[in-house]
Structure 1
Amino acid sequence: MAEITLGRYIFERLNQLKVQTIFGVPGDFNLSLLDKVYEVEGMRWAGNANELNAAYAADGYSRLKGLSCLVTTFGVGELSAVNGIAGSYAEHVGVLNLVGIPSISSQAKQLLLHHTLGNGDFTVFHRMANNISQTTAFISDINSAPAEIDRAIREAYIYQRPVYVGLPANLVDLNVPASLLQTPLDISLKPNDPDAQQEVIENVLELVSKAKNPIILVDACASRHDCKVEVEQLVNATKFPVFTTPMGKSGINESHERFGGVYVGSLSEPEVKEFVESADLILSVGALLSDFNTGSFSYSYKTKNIVEFHSDYTKIRQATFPGVQMKEALQNLLLTIGQVTASYVPGPVPAPRRFNSPAEANTLLSQEYLWNRVSTWFREGDIIITETGTSAFGIVQSRFPNNTVGISQVLWGSIGFTVGATLGAVMAAQEIDPKRRVILFVGDGSLQLTVQEISTMCKWETTPYLFILNNDGYTIERLIHGETATYNDIQPWNNLKLLELFNAKNPENYRVSTVGELETLFSNKNFNENTNIRAIEVMLPRMDAPINLVKQAQLSEKTNAEN
């Protein structure tokens, strides 16, 4: 073919980057665009229940694939997705946000079209998107459209942030040269300034050479910006103890002999807290220092010798080096750091807390038991998704096997995020390795916000584990404020009827209330294989919560009350 439509060009470009599932909801301004999905071999249209869920799904998919695509319609559709897009922006997740908009002639005539505000302003939603996008494009010229599309995809991938593209309905059927697809997209990072990078490396090596108790602290952006390999190589080269934050969990294999646990400021295990805070050098990789990620900003380092490696700058003590990106900087640091640390003698790191299982099988389940027990049920390669609330805090005390992917939304913290994200993750897993298990832990309250997306999971015959933690409402909110307030109550659902409602193929449903029931489930060989979609309702006491959530809730209530 000498020419292809602009719509097909977009999806061919995405397919070249192994983005094979498109999320969204059809609307009259994007229907012609959606026709083109089916013209690309291996591409599929997920067809979500609503735009917010679709945005969450695109987020979950991107966390595994490095990029995703969301398609909505002008006004009503794109605004429904804004919350999900904002979360992707906050948490460094690359999403190409395609919005079908009215034709160029309709815009020029300022027609009083549906889905508008009735004032002839067709750019108002584009202007809104500027604040939660790495960059935007409002396509108006077919000749420059392919280059604009390439720029949008490249920036979403490189910077791991959403990018907004407005596509007039009449342009997606116009032709562009097919030969443009023969030039691969350049998705490489621009090189660091060599002089600035050399100064960074020299300063880091000097600090390392003087350190007696150095540590490495891994946070979310190490995973988001593809630095997990460099992190592991840094640990192997130095033998320094390595810790993660809650958001950084799965940024390093937790079976590594130098892994010491999860650091959450004052909410950390005492031995972890003492170990980290007594360090005389901290090499921090990919930090996102939000309140829930730091125990309400309770980091108490005794040293000022802190090196922060970020995706777009490096900071050493009080000096900032703009544009010195962590991936290249770490790769260059690895060339020489082993010589400087040759005399370092690695000491012991904090050992995992020992867990004593209740002796009686009829002991009622508790958060403490659940989050310690699942550690031994998880297996290598699992994709573990934890909802804002008890799950996101409880998972901190679990140990992940090697090559696990942990997904949570600790910074943005939109309740209900994980149900949509699970759809995205499980569809990505189908494309990467269908044997990988996708495991969701979601509270009964959060589930009610986005439950419709389980329907899409059923439509595509995906096989996630859906653990529904039933503690009779919003426990995290009760802990922060309003323990007995009715605004923290929810209408109880028959959660084990949901898969039947959504017409799942061969669903499995379980309800567990005791230690013995959970043990029986986890020891079931068939249950351990992801052959069917499963709903597991875990019955827990209303005010039972992981201890670090109880402490965090107290800190949050105090912060909220401050003048």
Structure 2
Amino acid sequence: MRTTVGEFIIRRLKEMGIEHIIGVPGDFNLSFIEQINEAENIEFVGACNELNAAYAADGYGRQSGVGALLTTYGVGELSALNGIAGARAEHVPMVSLAGSPPLYSTEYRWNLHHSLADGDFENMLESILPFTGAAVRITPMNVVEELDRALHICLREKRPVHIQIPSDITHLEIEAPDEALDTTLPTSDAERLEAATARVLERIAEAKKPVFLFDQDTDRHGFTEKFRTLVDKLQIPYSQLTSGKGVLSERDGLFLGSYNGKASAPGVQKIVESADLLFTTNPRFIEVNSGSFTHHLPAEAIVNFGDQHVNVGGEFFVGINTLELLDALIDRTKTSRKKKKEEFVYDEWEIDAEAPLTHARMWPRFIRFLEDDDTVIAEAGTSHIGLTPERLPKGARYINSPIWGAIGFTLPALLGSMLANRDRRHVLFIGDGSFQLTAQELSTILREDLKPIIVLVNNKGYTIERYILGMEEKYNDIADWQYAKLPQVFVPDTTMVSYQARTEGELEDALSKIQTSDAGAFLEVHLDAMDAPAGLKAFGPMTADFDFGPRGPRNP
């Protein structure tokens, strides 16, 4: 079929399920934006800057399966690179598009704005390539081949890909295939699939102390529902890395708690490390999810599910579509006769109305506020650590950046996630320091008439850094904004309602009003600057020991 380059790109994005492209206009991408505006069932959403746009595309991808970003050459691409790298680290599929200089100008090496004025137009692609699965510049001659190749890599490998679109080619006609983009994974080698299935079934039959241990790749590769079925059939207990929080229900009686080396939930380390069959999903241990590398998984007991292979105690089966393997295991396992354990129930809770807010009391109260099927977004640092020991409601989706850990990620990620699913209630927990990095994206959230619940933890600075080093040093302080007034500053007629709480009684009153309102909410909670969740108080000194060595500085 005959179509233009831009129309072909848009069609492919829609075939991937993308309905929003988030970005910032620039002269090299305006021709493409015009085509997006003319297309049906897809929309360009402008963000305040390229970094925020990349974070938002990441959040969109976590909610819908793949996100899309649009920037302009050089200044835009590099501004977004931190967010692109975060998607790579967290295994989030993202299609990063960048308008680039006209094709003739790059071929003749003209000195242009947004470049180094040295005729080099490869340096941007070379800078971005290490953080993506592919980085290409398309032309009318290669767009069909290169675009489809990049998109398949994005979906198959769960990585961002970067595609430069010269500004003078978007309206040129090409011959494009009639067929839609095939987004399915290749099927397995039949013999390897059968051999792997039989071997895993043997291990299940032999096991006396089996355990599932989940990490974020369980979600990224679409394994979650299939593992949920296996857990229900086999009645095998399960744990999670803190980087895989909330992948499966944390309120099922089979849930053990989080595994984090010596910093695991009580009793979990012993159960996981003594398992004679340990199912894993490509766990990636870094210092923050391994108790500073105090994890010791029993290698001979591990059955590890990658996306295209399985490792059974050191025996590798490759050429496998793991989704097919999980289906085969579900079909060929018997339902356990063991009685399912009791579901989670809350402890008794009483409010001390005059008591000032503390982390020890606040996070257990917030977990009672959350509802089934909420999307819960927690900023790296205090919010994530505060929520880690709390058990999320059924069906809750948890968004966090535990590996890349760039503060400020979550406010734009909230924007992207809500664009992908407006009907799902979203609750964001973010610290004041993180909020100040990307605060302007609140204006986009309000402009798009989204109605999240935003909880801003105001403790006058970088609490996580204080507990690592510089507890009372000025470098960990920040300006104390009047945060609760910002919704009205950004959009004077906003329907978002602001609340503030300094005591348990004020918090209770605010949560009660928020719970019964359809409006968006901005709740600022005030805590002492030296207060922190128990996990953070332990994490800080442990991090100082790891970072600074035996002769380095420490908090008094």
TM-score, normalisation: structure 2: 0.94
User: Is the counterpart of residue 513 in structure 1 residue 502 in structure 2?
Assistant: yes
Instruction: State the alpha-carbon separation in 2 of the partners of residues 239 and 357 from structure 1.
Output: 31
Query: Which residue of the partner structure matches residue 45 of structure 1?
Result: 44
Give the 3 Å change call, closer, same or farther, for CA 90–325 of structure 1 in structure 2.
farther
Alignment of 1:78-157 (within 5 A): 78-140=77-139, 142-157=140-155
Counterpart selection for 1:496 from 484, 489, 493: 484
Give the 3 Å change call, closer, same or farther, for CA 309–346 of structure 1 in structure 2.
farther
Counterpart selection for 1:555 from 528, 542, 554: 542
Alignment check: 8 A CA contact 1:104 1:170 kept: yes
Instruction: State the alpha-carbon separation in 1 of the partners of residues 336 and 396 from structure 2.
Output: 31
SS of 2:162 mapped into structure 1: strand
Amino acid at match of 2:532: A
Alignment of 1:324-339 (within 5 A): 324-338=320-334
Query: Which residue of the partner structure matches residue 443 of structure 1?
Result: 431
Alignment check: 8 A CA contact 1:221 1:287 kept: yes
User: Is the counterpart of residue 244 in structure 1 residue 240 in structure 2?
Assistant: yes
Alignment of 1:61-76 (within 5 A): 61-76=60-75
Alignment check: 8 A CA contact 1:355 1:372 kept: no
**What do residues 453-480 of structure 1 show as CA deviations (whole Å, max 9, x unaligned)?**
1111111111111110011100001111
Q: Offset at 1:311?
A: 1.9
Amino acid at match of 2:366: V
Alignment check: 8 A CA contact 2:275 2:301 kept: no
Alignment check: 8 A CA contact 1:313 1:321 kept: yes
Counterpart selection for 2:184 from 171, 182, 188: 188
Alignment check: 8 A CA contact 1:374 1:398 kept: no
User: Is the counterpart of residue 265 in structure 1 residue 265 in structure 2?
Assistant: no
TM-score, normalisation: structure 1: 0.93
Alignment check: 8 A CA contact 2:21 2:44 kept: yes
Alignment check: 8 A CA contact 2:279 2:304 kept: yes
Alignment check: 8 A CA contact 2:235 2:340 kept: no
Question: Which runs of no fewer than 5 residues in structure 1 stay unpaired?
Answer: none
Query: Which residue of the partner structure matches residue 288 of structure 2?
Result: 292
Query: Which residue of the partner structure matches residue 470 of structure 1?
Result: 458
Query: Which residue of the partner structure matches residue 24 of structure 1?
Result: 23
Give the 3 Å change call, closer, same or farther, for CA 184–123 of structure 1 in structure 2.
same
Alignment check: 8 A CA contact 1:371 1:397 kept: no
Give the 3 Å change call, closer, same or farther, for CA 359–16 of structure 1 in structure 2.
closer
Query: Which residue of the partner structure matches residue 279 of structure 2?
Result: 283
Instruction: State the alpha-carbon separation in 1 of the partners of residues 172 and 357 from structure 2.
Output: 60
Alignment of 1:301-380 (within 5 A): 301=297, 304-338=300-334, 345=338, 355=347, 357-380=349-372
Instruction: State the alpha-carbon separation in 2 of the partners of residues 362 and 138 from structure 1.
Output: 61
Amino acid at match of 1:537: E
**What do residues 396-417 of structure 1 show as CA deviations (whole Å, max 9, x unaligned)?**
1222222211000000000100
SS of 2:51 mapped into structure 1: helix
**What do residues 233-258 of structure 1 show as CA deviations (whole Å, max 9, x unaligned)?**
11012110112222212211233332
Alignment check: 8 A CA contact 1:62 1:94 kept: yes
Alignment check: 8 A CA contact 1:241 1:259 kept: yes
Comparing 62-71 with 399-408, greater Cα deviation is found at 399-408
Alignment check: 8 A CA contact 1:478 1:488 kept: yes
Instruction: State the alpha-carbon separation in 1 of the partners of residues 340 and 275 from structure 2.
Output: 13
Counterpart selection for 1:405 from 387, 397, 409: 397
Alignment of 1:424-443 (within 5 A): 424-430=416-422, 434=423, 436-443=424-431
Query: Which residue of the partner structure matches residue 382 of structure 1?
Result: 374
Query: Which residue of the partner structure matches residue 8 of structure 2?
Result: 9
User: Is the counterpart of residue 215 in structure 1 residue 211 in structure 2?
Assistant: yes
Amino acid at match of 1:477: E
Give the 3 Å change call, closer, same or farther, for CA 373–274 of structure 1 in structure 2.
farther
RMSD: 2.1
Alignment check: 8 A CA contact 2:60 2:416 kept: yes
Query: Which residue of the partner structure matches residue 531 of structure 1?
Result: 518
Instruction: State the alpha-carbon separation in 2 of the partners of residues 304 and 514 from structure 1.
Output: 52
Amino acid at match of 1:469: V
Amino acid at match of 1:160: K
SS of 2:33 mapped into structure 1: helix
Alignment check: 8 A CA contact 1:464 1:530 kept: no
Alignment check: 8 A CA contact 2:468 2:541 kept: yes
Q: Offset at 1:452?
A: 0.9
Q: Offset at 1:529?
A: 5.4
**What do residues 78-111 of structure 1 show as CA deviations (whole Å, max 9, x unaligned)?**
0000000000001000110111111111012211
Alignment check: 8 A CA contact 1:267 1:552 kept: no
Amino acid at match of 1:460: E
Alignment check: 8 A CA contact 1:281 1:303 kept: no
Q: Offset at 1:303?
A: 6.8
Aligned length: 549
Instruction: State the alpha-carbon separation in 2 of the partners of residues 146 and 353 from structure 1.
Output: 55
SS of 2:185 mapped into structure 1: coil
Amino acid at match of 2:375: I
Query: Which residue of the partner structure matches residue 166 of structure 1?
Result: 164
Question: Which runs of no fewer than 5 residues in structure 2 stay unpaired?
Answer: 551-556
Instruction: State the alpha-carbon separation in 2 of the partners of residues 463 and 168 from structure 1.
Output: 37
